[in-house]
Structure 1
Amino acid sequence: MLAPTEGGLVTAPLHLPSAGPAPIPGDAALAAVLGYARGRRPLYYRAPNARTGRWAQVPAFGYERFDARPVPDGPLGEADILTAEGLHGRLRRDAWTAMAAALPAVQTLADDVVDRAAGRAFWELPEDEFSVLAEPGTVGALLRQVADLCAEREVSRQHVVAALHARHPALVPLLHDTTRWPLLPHVREGDSGVEAVIHRELLHAADAFAALEDAVRAEGFALTRLRLHDLLLWLSTTLRFAHAAADGATTAHRAD
């Protein structure tokens, strides 16, 4: 049974220990996500050949540069690197070349993850998929192999993971240092990695995340609950949550 909603607002709180001890109110979570997707900030722009410039409103966050980009066809390639750069910034030329060279090996591991999941979303997988006791061949073990491959090839792990998440937004968690560190203290003995923490939090707040996912989709943004978890954690740990929530409430009011 989904959490109740009233007037488009998610009323069930989301309990995310990785984001802090207090539950996140559902309506605040929705406003923060909408702020991430629709928020704008002023930018003063002046072309090099112009004497004066002008103010423009540009996206405040990465939704349009990353989440809204079309998913490329075929195997992982240059388009996936561009998508990852839209979220994490441009790679140096040598780093770009290294990532491009590593993508075929990453593709093999990604295919193994998809095969292992057998059509199930991340939050639909059993807990054993993120336990070292069930290894090898689990989703958790395969995702750890992706991280090991990035370290071995000296490739930016956050860019590789972003590319994989863009391809599989309901299966591959979007992790980077900013969100990994808050997850680490919640890892339990036997966990295959921080992915196990994300899995537990999605299960424990399943109804609230389902309601939030539906509410966000009703506003026109197709973000999976796996991405919503990452957004709420990132906004909270970087102290951007209040700004995004205020922006989301304002843009929603303007839309109305």
Structure 2
Amino acid sequence: MSEPLHLPSAGPEPIPADAAVAAVLGYAAARRPLYYRAPNVRTGRWAEVPAFGYERFDRRPVPDAPLGEADILTAEGLHGRLGREEWTAMAAALPAVQSLADDVVAQAAGRAFWELPEDEFSVLAEPGTVGALLREIGELCASAGASRWHVAAALHHRHPELFPLLHTTTRWALLPHSREGDSGVAAVVHRELLNSADAFAELEAAVRAEGVGLTRLRLHDVLLWLSATLRFQHAVAAGRAPVLTERRTGRA
């Protein structure tokens, strides 16, 4: 991979190709120390646990059933545990979310997020566009008291090529780059994927060759989140560390 990625939401400078690959591989493989002590023992021990959400989220199996409790657990693996009331609210909202998500899938008609035309994210083409339906899902979550971030994670896990991930941090990074007529911040993600289409295709192929199968929609989210939370350099260093390379590939 040689072409840099131009992601204004992640910063003014293009992300070098080698750094992007290393950051994603680091996101997938990095570990952090955790001191654990079970309630029934006097002493604990150190253990290594995943530093980021790849193992807890991206590698979880996709349920063969309508949206439900398994999807909430998967979303919690990325965004953290929900309180009892939030958990109950999300569970209650999922049937209505499922209906809207089915409409998004139907509107996409087999196309990936980055293959959709720009009109799908313009208010001028509404109603019924993908952007309008994604906004409606967010509005439904707000009215139901459900975490829109967890719902977005559940939907992305079901359809990683179509539903964008979002979090407070990444949303704030995307908002300044929205334009008049955008149906939401998903339009910004769509533009950035289109503007760096060749680079994202190369990145997707490069990390897949290393055993990390993430769509370019998820790759955009990973790079933006790492940059916005100041974890990018840590992920790059982890991705280049020989011990993690051996762990990930089985090769010394």
Q: Which amino acid aligns with 1:228?
A: L
CA distance in 1, matches of 2:59, 2:124: 38
Q: 1:53-132 to 2 correspondence within 5 Å?
A: 53-132=44-123
Secondary structure in 2 matching 1:136? coil
The question of 1:228 aligning with 2:250 is answered no
Shift of 1:12: 1.1
Read off the aligned partner of 1:22 and give its amino acid letter: E
| Gapped regions of structure 2 (runs ≥ 5) | none
1:252 counterpart (241, 245, 249): 245
Deviation at 1:253, TM superposition (A): 5.9
Question: Given the alignment, which residue of 192, 196, 199 partners 2:190?
Answer: 199
The residue that corresponds to 1:25 in the other structure is 16
Paired with 2:55 and 2:166, the residues of 1 have a C-alpha distance of 19
Q: 1:62 deviation in Å?
A: 0.8
**SS of equivalent to 1:21:** coil
Where structure 1 has 5 or more consecutive residues not aligned to the other structure, the ranges are 1-9
Aligned-residue sequence identity (percent) comes to 78
Q: How many residues align?
A: 247
- Larger CA deviation: 56-65 vs 136-145: 56-65
The aligned residue for residue 182 of structure 1 is 173
What CA distance in whole angstroms lies between the structure 1 residues aligned with 2:60 and 2:196? 28
Q: Distance in 1 between matches of 2:205 and 2:222?
A: 16
Which residue is 1:241 aligned to?
Answer: 232
Q: How far did 1:211 drift? A: 0.4
Shift of 1:53: 2.3
Aligned-partner Cα distance in 1 for 2:67–2:48:
33
Q: 2:168 is matched by which residue type in structure 1?
A: D
Structure 1 CA distance for aligned equivalents of residues 6 and 210 of structure 2:
23
Q: What residue identity is the alignment partner of 2:228?
A: T
Shift of 1:59: 0.7
Residue 23 of structure 1 aligns to a residue whose secondary structure is coil
The equivalent of 2:162 in structure 1 is 171
How far has the Cα of 1:41 moved from its partner? Answer: 1.1
Residue 44, structure 1, aligned to residue 52, structure 2: no
Counterpart residue number, 1:133: 124
Partner of 2:143: 152
2:49 is paired with a residue of what secondary structure?
strand
Task: Measure, in 1, the Cα distance between the counterparts of 2:38 and 2:88.
Answer: 31
State TM-score, norm by structure 2.
0.96
| TM-score using structure 1 length | 0.94
Q: Distance in 2 between matches of 1:77 and 1:53?
A: 35
Report the alpha carbon displacement of residue 42 of structure 1 after superposing the two structures with TM. Answer: 1.4
